[in-house]
Chains A and B, each alone.
Chain A
Amino acid sequence: MVHAAEVLSHVAALAQAADPPQASSVSTNLARAQTAFSLAFHICFAVFGVGMPWLLLFVEGRWVRTRDPVWLALTRKWSRAFAVMFAVGAVSGTALSFEFGLLWPAFMARYGGVLGLSFTLEGFAFFAEAIFIGMYLYGWKRLSARAHWLTLWPIAIAGTFSTLFIITANAWMNTPGHVTEVDGKVVSAEPFAPFLAATAPHQLIHMLLAALMCTGGIVAGVYAVGMLRGRRDAYHQRGLRVGLAVLLVCAPLQLIVGDWAARVVGNEQPIKLAAMEGLGHTRTHAPLTIGGIYDEQTGEVRHGIEVPDLLSLMQGLSADHEITGLTAVPPEERPNAVLVHSAFNVMVGLGMALIALSLVTGVVVLRRRRRGERPLLPTGRPWLWAAAASGPASMLAMLAGWEVTEGGRQPWIVYGRMRVDEAVTSSSGMPAIFTGTILLYLGLATALILILRRMATGGPELAATVGETSTTPDIPDARPAPASPDTPARVRGDGDGGDGPGTSAPTTPRTDPSSSEGDAR
């Protein structure tokens, strides 16, 4: 959804000639840019709202069962980061629901009812999430360890259902059906129309896997960076292991879902597929073009690597399968193929790199297990660098994927039914609104990054020199907080999140063998 390149080109065009006739297209582009920016901002946090509870369920579950302070330390750290990201995700999500009306009043006026069931159910899922997050974050002392762990279940399930509901709305915009319109007014709509959208199933699974990959990748990345800086204790190793396991299991699955997605898009939105693949002219024996830049003049991709017949084979299992090209529709109905093809390449390229990492790691882990080597996960510097890069790579791939979905639908806001420029606000204030939004969000993002960076580098101060093969327990006690540099100030506004289980839970003695379980396994 990030139309950064487009924004830049439009800003440049604005500077050159801002004559009145262009006003409506300027306002459309600003509204698109603002929607893209706010959605991209929101989704970077929303993925953690979806993925993090599942990871927390695992680590806190391990703590409840083993009472191993390392698991507790991971739980505490992640829950704090989760608290901040969920709150920012929640308020930026509210901003979106306002923006639908502020930026796209005609779209909402015509189709709001169609999306009603999706958004109503999403509202309740969000409600459940917010309620149980309140209990989870502030209930350390007021709930038993097991009850506290149990509050994660509704959070995780509701977060996953939120994705389902929101994705159905987006899928309906891509493949709208089950709605009857007369003279631009919806006269009847099946309530389940969004759930019946042809693109809903693959979009949902693609996004859920992406959310897990982003969460796992960023978690792994944080601990990989810590280990690169020499903190090779059980805390970092386990954090890395959990994050990486999630990412590397999901990555190959994503390939299968991606292939499925491309086939559905080929059937339902052939022009989007053409833009993704940079295919100008309709043809059989269509090649798959990897990389390169689409040239609008010739309808060809320049500097790409062509694999003959592959696109036809992938779409129709036959080289004779005909693939629709962009020129099948008039120019004003074509998406920006330069952008969409590039974004698609970024997503696929990063996805492939992550799958490769997944396979290589899998092979190494199996070999180490056969030889009885520990730890199973390779932790040499190149491996750690790869793990550190996997987080940003997942996020970038996810954003690029959304650019493909949304950019590839252009110029339609509802595919084949309503164009983006018909939906946009007529407000003359768009430039001011746009500038204000960007500044506000950039400010909030900067502050958030500073806070998360501080959190990420805090950690329980373990003996930094302990080698990775060490089996000595290296956490002084069950309280992760005391030695961390952010202790004095953070206890203040933190409700009772600061020292709950540390004081109420049985402390694992230093010599308890369970605390070295992470290394010994």
Chain B
Amino acid sequence: MTAADLLAVVMVIGLTAYALTGGADFGGGVWDLLARGRDAADQRRLVSAALGPVWEANHVWLIFVIVMMFSGFPAAFGIVGSTLEIPLICALAGIVLRGAAYVYRAYGAGAAGPDHWWGHVFAISSAITPVALGVCGAALATGDVTEGDALAPVTSAFGIVCGVFTLAVTAFLAAVYLCRDAASSPETEHLVPGFRRRALGGAVVSGLLAAALLPLLWSEAPVVAERFAERSVPFVVISALGGIASLVALWQHRFTAARITAGAAVAGVLWGWAAAQYPDLVVGRATVDSAAAPEANIVAMLIAVACGLVVLIPSLWMLFRLFANPEVKS
């Protein structure tokens, strides 16, 4: 395994962390958008309280992945930057608006328009970002990227289904996490049935979309599909078992267990894709080898990552421990 390979593995780990933390934060925004009925306001408050202390830290995983990509595989980043501009700009607009709208609602006190306007901005931009990122991922797999045709990634059926699948997965994760958050306090216990229903629904929808993606993968991304069949079966099994176990755990109201199984289901999808993608970064355009920065730089980055993790992991552990049970203001 070369240094570049190792860096690619680090990137996938970062991406997994982002999906499981930052992804669920976007999913929280989706449930804000879809909040209906008597408990709508309480649901939104729970989402907001769950995000508050952690969303900025969760968001840094994305920056981590982007930095790994442009520093470790600069040639691939150049290609991505000049071909995926439409989905990237949508993701970017979503990220900027989501973060800004969240704090404007939390701290604005209506000084810049009513809080519920910012609430809607927060919710809608939360839903846009995962779709756009899913479209980007699909384009890396199909290799359907050309400098002259900016619309190609957003008009491919595979890309769109991938985007919707990503959205469904983030919403599923968020609902599972929120079950546990709601159950942790008597004040929010009445929200459990609603989120449990949403989590079960999210699991089913994600599973159906995953099934719909498979034939598209074969027709649109044959190179990746072939390697997928060869290498990714163990990950698919983990993902499927995780999904089923999540349904069981949710059914039995075992929400902490459901968090773990749901995380495994999502991680399985990501690792299955990553294994099938290797050694391509952008299929047909850039591989781990061809796009890599000089080895000395990658080694330096890996050392920096290792040192950084020594500080990062205890800090993250403290953060999540401190805010294990969100506090909802009524």
Do A440 and B112 touch (CB < 8 A)? no
A102–B85 Cα gap in the complex (Å)? 6
Quick one: which of B52, B77, B103, B327 contacts A84, CB cutoff 8 A? B103
Question: Residues of B contacting A448 with CB < 8 Å?
Answer: 100, 104, 112
Instruction: Give the residue name and chain of the A residue nearest to B64 (CB).
Output: A123
The answer to whether residues A189 and B308 also contact, given A98-B66, A134-B56 and a CB cut-off of 8 A, is: no
Q: Mark A111-142, 1 if CB is under 8 A from B, else 0.
A: 11111110111111011101111110111011
Question: A109: which of B72, B75, B103, B299 is its contact (CB, 8 Å)?
Answer: B75
Is the beta-carbon distance between B67 and A120 smaller than 8 angstroms? Answer: yes
**A257 contacts the other chain (Cβ, under 8 Å)?**
no
B contact residues around A130 at 8 Å (CB) = 56-57, 59-60
Q: CB within 8 Å of A: which residues of B? A: 45, 48-49, 52-54, 56-57, 59-60, 62-64, 66-68, 70-75, 77-82, 85-86, 88-89, 91-93, 95-100, 102-113, 115, 147, 150, 292-294, 296-301, 304-305, 308, 311-312, 315-316, 318-319, 322-323, 327, 329
Q: B70 — nearest CB in chain A belongs to which residue?
A: A112
* Smallest beta-carbon distance A454→chain B, Å: 4
Q: Are A108 and B301 in contact (CB under 8 A)?
A: no
- Chain A residue numbers with a CB within 8 Å of B68 are 120
The CA-CA distance from A235 to B314 in the complex, in Å, is 37
A106 interface residue per 8 A CB criterion: yes
> Distance (Å) between the CB of A425 and the closest chain B CB?
6
A175 within 8 A of B: no
- A87 is an interface residue with CB less than 8 A from chain B: yes
Q: Is A498 an interface residue (CB 8 A)?
A: yes
| Beta-carbon contact of B109 and A490 below 8 Å | yes
What residues on A are CB-neighbors of B315 within 8 Å? 127-128, 131-132, 154
| Nearest CB of chain A from residue B69's CB, rounded to whole Å | 8
Q: Let me know if A454 and B82 touch, CB within 8 A.
A: no
Residues of A near any B CB (own CB < 8 A): 80, 83-84, 86-88, 90-95, 97-98, 100-106, 108-117, 119-124, 126-128, 130-135, 137-139, 141-143, 154, 186-192, 425-429, 433, 436, 440, 444, 446-448, 450-451, 453-455, 486, 489-496, 498
Q: Which residue of B66, B100, B311 is within 8 Å of A97 (Cβ)?
A: B66
Residues A91 and B81 in contact in the complex (CB < 8 Å), given A451-B111, A492-B329: no
User: Closest A-chain residue to B56, C-beta based?
Assistant: A130
The interface centre, meaning the residue of B89, B103, B107 with most chain A CB atoms within 10 A of its CB, is: B107
Chain A residue contacts of B108, Cβ below 8 A = 447, 450-451, 454, 490
Contact assessment for B103 and A135 in the assembled complex, using a CB-CB cutoff below 8 Å: no
Cβ A433 vs Cβ B319 within 8 A? no
A433→B82 CA distance, assembly (Å): 13
Can you name the residue of chain B whose Cβ is closest to the Cβ of A134? B53
Complex formed: what's the CA distance from A124 to B302 in Å? 12
Name A487's closest neighbour in chain B (CB-CB): B109
Q: Would A120 and B74 count as touching, CB distance under 8 A?
A: no
Min CB–CB distance B40 → chain A (angstroms) = 14
B46 to A: closest C-beta gap in Å: 12
CB distance from B7 to the nearest CB of A (A): 10
Q: A131-B315, A433-B89 are in contact. Are A105 and B79 (CB under 8 A)?
A: yes
Per DSSP, chain A at the interface is: helix
A-B contact pairs, 22 of them (CB 8 A): A92-B96, A97-B63, A101-B81, A102-B81, A103-B81, A104-B81, A112-B293, A113-B292, A116-B293, A120-B304, A123-B63, A127-B60, A132-B319, A135-B318, A143-B322, A426-B147, A446-B112, A454-B111, A486-B109, A492-B329, A494-B107, A495-B327
CB neighbours (8 Å) of A429 from chain B are 85-86, 150
Since A80-B107, A91-B96, A102-B85 are in contact, a sample of 17 more A-B pairs with Cβ atoms closer than 8 Å, ordered by chain A residue number, is: A91-B59, A92-B96, A95-B95, A102-B81, A109-B74, A113-B292, A116-B67, A116-B298, A117-B300, A123-B63, A132-B315, A135-B318, A188-B294, A191-B301, A433-B85, A447-B104, A454-B108
Which residues of B sit under 8 angstroms from A496, Cβ to Cβ?
Answer: 327, 329
Q: Which residue of A lies closest to B330 (CB)?
A: A492
Interface centre among A93, A127, A450 (most CB of B within 10 A): A127
Contacts of A100 in B (CB 8 A): 70, 81
For B72, the closest partner residue in chain A by CB is A116
Name the distance in Å between B209's Cβ and chain A's nearest Cβ.
26
B91 to A, closest residue via Cβ: A98
Residue from B73, B74, B95 within 8 A of A91 (CB atoms): B95
Say yes or no: B322 contacts A135, CB within 8 Å.
yes
Smallest CB separation, A449 vs chain B (Å): 8
A45 to chain B, nearest CB (A): 11
**In the complex, what residues of B have CB within 8 A of residue A92's CB?**
96
Question: Would B70 and A90 count as touching, CB distance under 8 A?
Answer: no
How far does the Cβ of B20 sit from chain A's closest Cβ, in whole Å? 16
**Central interface residue in A446, A448, A491, by most chain B CB within 10 Å:** A448
- Contact across chains for B78 and A440 when beta carbons are under 8 A apart: no
Whether B64 lies near A127 (C-beta < 8 A) is yes
CB distance from A341 to the nearest CB of B (A): 34
With contacts A101-B70, A131-B57, A494-B329 taken as known, whether A188 is within 8 angstroms of B322 at the C-beta atoms is no
Shortest Cβ distance from residue A493 to the other chain B in the assembled complex, whole angstroms: 4
**B92 near A94 (CB under 8 angstroms)?**
yes
How far does the alpha carbon of A35 sit from the alpha carbon of B250 in the complex, in Å? 47
Q: Which of B66, B111, B312 has the most CB of A within 10 A?
A: B111
Contacts A113-B72, A433-B85 given; indicate if A494 touches B297 (C-beta within 8 A): no
Inside 8 A of B102's CB, which chain A residues have their CB? 87
Using Cβ atoms and an 8 Å threshold, which residues of chain A touch B91?
A: 98
- With A131-B319, A139-B322 in contact, is A495–B49 under 8 Å at CB? yes
Neighbouring A residues of B299 by C-beta, 8 Å: 191
Q: How far is the CA of A493 from the CA of B107 in the complex (A)?
A: 7
- CB <8 Å contact, B329 and A134: no
Compute how far the CA of A141 lies from the CA of B80 in the bound complex, rounded to whole angstroms.
45
Residues of B within 8 A of A491 (CB): 329
CA distance A433 to B89 in the complex (A): 8
Nearest opposing residue in chain A for B71, CB measure: A116
B55–chain A nearest beta-carbon distance, Å? 8
Known: A84-B103, A134-B54. A106 touches B78 (CB 8 A): yes
Contacts of A494 in B (CB 8 A): 106-107, 329
Structural contact, A493 and B82, CB atoms closer than 8 A: no
Residues of B within 8 A of A91 (CB): 59, 95-96, 98-100
Q: Which 10 A-B pairs have the closest CB atoms?
A: A113-B293, A109-B78, A101-B81, A112-B74, A116-B71, A191-B300, A124-B308, A454-B111, A447-B112, A91-B99
